[in-house]
Amino acid sequence: MRPSIEGDDAAGAKVEDEAAASRAELVPPEPARDAPPEPRAENDVLPTSWTSAVLQTLPMLLLAAVGLLLSGRELDRISRWGVFRAVDKYLILVPIMMNLKGNLELNLSLRMSTAANMGELDNRRTRQVLVRGNLALLQAQALIIACVAGALSFAMGHDWRGAAGAGAAASSVAGTSAAPNATAATLVSRGIHTPGRPNVDRALRLRNGYLEFFMIVAVSMMSASLSSAVQGTCLCALVVWSRRLRLDPDQSVVPIAGSLGDLITLTVLALLAAGMLPSEGSLLSLALFVVLIGLCCVMVFMTLRNVYVHELFGYGWTPLLAAAVISSVAGLLLDRNAEKYDGLALVAPVVSGLPGVAAAILTSTLSSALHTGRVVAATRSSGAYEPLQDAGAHADRYPPASRRFTPLCDWQLPLTLLVCTSLVQIGYLIVLWLTGSLVFGWQFAVCFTVLSVLLVCIALTLGYTLCLLLWYFDYDPDTSCMPYVTSLVDALSELFLFAAFAAAHALGDRVST
């Protein structure tokens, strides 16, 4: 009997060994806490061909250019609406909202593209939870940002037009054609009117009051919520369908977020502002403000309950606010210098927008490669403590300090973006010349071409370097990179445009429309 028992024990041990081996194949062993990642091929970021890269990139850049042009024309059209003349604080709100909302939707497209490339959207349940969490996060961020933007635009409008508003109000109250005297201006600025002669101008009577404040903030929050719902849903759907069609969402979805978002935000803001104007002075705006604050609280609660996005709510605000400040300063420079050069407003939307879109495509692709492990870049945490006997064992797995921010992939996508973006910008300039919309000589054509190509190079380099820099300091590039890149590229594009017009003028060229 003993040999039989030993045989059974041996057979049982063999079965257990086979089961353990199969489990080891199914579940890979967990790496050590401080162990560096496995080395990857450095050229594994862009496995597609040149033809495929051009076919995916060029149509999206053309679509982005069309979206930027439509946004510029829409802004020029709605600025003549009566609501923007009656409540001109909306004109201050527009550029702030466009910058903040555009960065929020760019961040959403980068996060969803990274999730798609990591395979997190392949499972139905995971996809539903991830999409719901990102949409709730987008709504919460949009409502908070819109509330701050509305309050800021109200404060800025109250400051810069206080004296002019007081003078116009005094003239209306006095009812004379002469210039208003200082006493009448002071009384009206304090809200004191002549007894027996009430002010019949409704907009003037409500100007700078709390009802106007609530109206502007409510319109800002409603437009941000509705446009975020529309564009966020479309972006998530496009990322999912790109994954199913085996397209790269970094190259097919990110340009849409960087161009069409402004058009949607402008349209919704203008329609809501015009719709709310007849109810100016009523408590409707206050009621809407309370409802929107409640909606914001609900969205924050849903975000914090979502396991995929709850950590994203606490950070990422500093890049958004810094980008808003940089873009506001750049917009102020453009407003003050646009009248000096005829035709500047025609080329500004494309020149300032397309390099940022190209940088967003490159940054999104690199961020996805870093998250999926297709590219290994140094991080600050990789310098953690390791035993002396293990020191130097994995030194070749990390790039040296001299290569920390040098290219970790081939030049296929950057060169494709450089060529395609430059061709679209130059083609747009040729279209303006052929249609007679802009008249210029060879001097301006040469200056514009050189500076536009240089701007695209700077934008791509800035996006690439900043992405690796944020990754090194353990920040998520999907959340923190693009606000800085887009705002800096906007400022540089305006400086380059001024330089192109000034150089052409110095060379004897006269640009005209």
More confident residue, 467 or 407: 467
More confident residue, 191 or 506: 506
Lowest mean pLDDT among 28-42, 60-74, 416-430, 440-454: 28-42
What span, in angstroms and rounded, lies between the C-alpha atoms of 38 and 394?
10
Residue 14 pLDDT more than 90?
A: no
Closest CA to 456 of 363, 366, 356, 367: 356
What span, in angstroms and rounded, lies between the C-alpha atoms of 109 and 236?
8
What span, in angstroms and rounded, lies between the C-alpha atoms of 234 and 213?
32
**pLDDT class for 51, splitting at 50, 70, 90?**
confident
More confident residue, 269 or 388: 269
- The percentage of residues in the chain with a pLDDT greater than 70, rounded to a whole number, is 71
Q: What is the pTM of this model?
A: 0.74
Eight-state DSSP code of residue 395: G
Structure confidence at residue 192 (pLDDT) = 40
- Mean pLDDT across the chain: 74
Q: Per-residue pLDDT tens for 423-440?
A: 998 888 888 888 888 888
Structure confidence at residue 98 (pLDDT) = 80
- The percentage of residues in the chain with a pLDDT greater than 90, rounded to a whole number, is 14
Chain centre distance of CA 102: 4
Structure confidence at residue 183 (pLDDT) = 37
Q: What is the dihedral of CA 498, 501, 507, 512, to 10 degrees?
A: -160
More confident residue, 349 or 354: 354
Reduced to 3 states (helix: H, G, I; strand: E, B; else coil), residue 219 is helix
Structure confidence at residue 163 (pLDDT) = 41
Q: Are residues 459 and 359 in contact, defined by beta-carbon separation less than 8 angstroms?
A: yes
Q: Per-residue pLDDT tens for 86-101?
A: 777 787 788 778 878 8
Structure confidence at residue 261 (pLDDT) = 78
Residue 197 pLDDT more than 70?
A: no
Q: Are residues 225 and 295 in contact, defined by beta-carbon separation less than 8 angstroms?
A: yes
Residue 61 pLDDT more than 60?
A: yes
Strand partners, 439: 512
More confident residue, 45 or 409: 409
What span, in angstroms and rounded, lies between the C-alpha atoms of 219 and 151?
11
Q: In the chain, what are the domains?
A: 87-314 (no CATH), 316-382+403-513 (1.10.357.20)
Residue 259 pLDDT more than 80?
A: no
| 3-class SS string, 446-471 | HHHHHHHHHHHHHHHHHHHHHHHHHH
Q: Are residues 323 and 103 in contact, defined by beta-carbon separation less than 8 angstroms?
A: yes
**What is the average pLDDT across 220-248?**
89
Residue 29 pLDDT more than 90?
A: no
Phi–psi pair at 49, nearest 5 degrees: -85, 170
Phi–psi pair at 512, nearest 5 degrees: -145, 160
Structure confidence at residue 251 (pLDDT) = 80
What span, in angstroms and rounded, lies between the C-alpha atoms of 174 and 133?
57
Q: What is the largest CA-CA distance in the chain?
A: 125
**pLDDT class for 27, splitting at 50, 70, 90?**
very low
Residue with tokens 């759907």: 237
> Cβ neighbours of residue 157 under 8 Å, at least 6 residues apart?
88, 89, 92
